[in-house]
Amino acid sequence: MPDEEKQAAFGRQSHGALVPNASPNQNETTHVNELEKQGSFVLTEEEAFAHAHNHPEDTTPIYIVYSADDKDNPRNWPTWRRYYIGLFASWLNVLTCWCAGSISSGAEQIQAEFGVSQELTTLLLALYVLGFAVGPVVLAPLSEYFGRRPIYAVSWFILFMFQSPIALAPNYGTLVVCRFIGGFAGGAPLTNTGGTISDLFKRDENGVIMAFYGVSSTFGPPSALVISGYLAQNEGWRMVFWVLFAITGGFWVLLVFTVPETRHSKILEKKTQRVRKQMEKEGLTAATNIREADTDERKGMVGLFKVSLTRPFTFLFTEPITMFAAAYNGFLYGLVYLFNESFPLVFGKGGHDFNTGEQGLSFLGLANGPLIAFCFYPLQERYYLRRVTENDGKGVPEARV
């Protein structure tokens, strides 16, 4: 390959080595530039071996990054695989929302069985949603530190296992505890799916999968009562949670065996370990200088939690668009779950006298709304890409609104 073609394929030169154009992320590019200024080598796996053989006495730190067509880079995985992982993670959003809202279909039966008021059955829904709020604060930094896959697997296993105590609950207190824990663990897809999609797709390629992700987040809550209404009416409220136990358990098995790690820093960490181990086998002194590109900027657990607890509030109170978007989304999200309790008042006894199954069907309008909006995605995406082209390839966030 001629030098100019190699330059185009891999990117700019740094200290005589080519730095790959593997990621368009501006923060990653800035970090690579900082490493170069420090006099370090920023090399791909192949370039690192070549440098180690050609300069065996060189002790300059070598940072491992992706090459342009690196098969370890999730953005270079086959299209079908990337979409499978993105759609799978999005579907987890739907399932955790089903776990949240289905309790409303059995509210009257729970009141009668445990002798509690309507307010206390509403609390069972509120506690799950409270878990949604608290869980991501903890799970988001953990996914940055341990990777996406372990957090998905552990949190979803907890959600799956805590459906059975609800189905077997001997008293109201059991429901209270299990609902909050389930919501806490079930918040993982809500906070991690966006990161997973970012791992798999470049900015201008993620329109389709983000549309599915958007549908999953808005279709899940209202559809919960649609799918659980007649089940609760005919088989009882406990059967609803046995069915959810089976569904979430099946998806946990699929998650463990079919969804790999997608977080770039964890993949580069393993790649770096592989390179270092191979160099040690070959007796190359460069093995002691091998590092992965995120090593110096990776924070410990304490640092990650500090950032995760302070950064959201910083953005919320210093960025007007974040403040208004958060207020708008919070209002809509609260409204959707408020409907879970208000619809039965309107359509149930004393209103239109719908039975439990028919009350669930009254949510079809809310469930169909996101599906109709999804049909307009091609127009939105075409408009966005045209605006990006007009802006010399730079992102135009306002074009997504």
Give the model confidence (pLDDT) of 34-73 as tens digits. Answer: 555 456 788 888 888 888 888 888 888 888 888 888 999 9
Number of continuous H segments (helices) and E segments (strands) in the chain: 18, 5
Query: What is the pLDDT at residue 36?
Result: 52
Q: What percent of the chain has pLDDT over 90?
A: 35
Mean pLDDT of all residues in 98-125? 92
pLDDT of residue 6: 36
Mean pLDDT of the chain: 84
Strands 17-18 and 13-14: antiparallel
Total-model pTM: 0.84
pLDDT of residue 345: 82
Band of residue 11 on the pLDDT scale cut at 50, 70, 90: very low
Tell me: pLDDT of 256 over 90: yes
Q: What letter would DSSP give residue 361?
A: H
Q: Which of 30, 60, 31, 37 is nearest to 48 (CA)?
A: 60
For residue 337, give every residue at least 6 positions away whose Cβ sits within 8 Å of its Cβ, in sequence order, or none. Answer: 100, 101, 125, 129, 221
Residue appearing with tokens 């987040």: 217
- Is pLDDT above 80 for 16? no
Residue 217 has pLDDT above 80, yes or no: yes
Task: Give the span between the Cα atoms of 152 and 266, in whole angstroms.
Answer: 15
Residue of 302 and 104 predicted with greater confidence: 104
For 276-282, what is the mean pLDDT? 88
List the domains of the chain with CATH numbers: 3-70+263-292 (no CATH), 78-262+319-400 (1.20.1250.20)
Is pLDDT at 178 greater than 90 in this prediction? yes
Question: Bigger pLDDT: 184 or 337?
Answer: 184
Q: How far is residue 146's CA from residue 396's CA, in Å, rounded to a whole number?
A: 32
Confidence at 196, pLDDT banded by 50, 70, 90: very high
Element housing 74 (H / E)? none
Q: Is the pLDDT of residue 14 over 50?
A: no
Q: What percent of the chain has pLDDT over 70?
A: 87
31 has a pLDDT exceeding 70: no
Query: In the structure, what pLDDT confidence band is assigned to residue 145 with cuts at 50, 70 and 90?
Result: confident
Please compute, for residue 365, the number of CA atoms within 13 A of its CA located in the half-sphere on the CB side. Answer: 6
Contact 221, 336 (CB under 8 A): yes
In angstroms, rounded to a whole number, what is the distance separating the alpha carbons of residues 346 and 369? Answer: 20
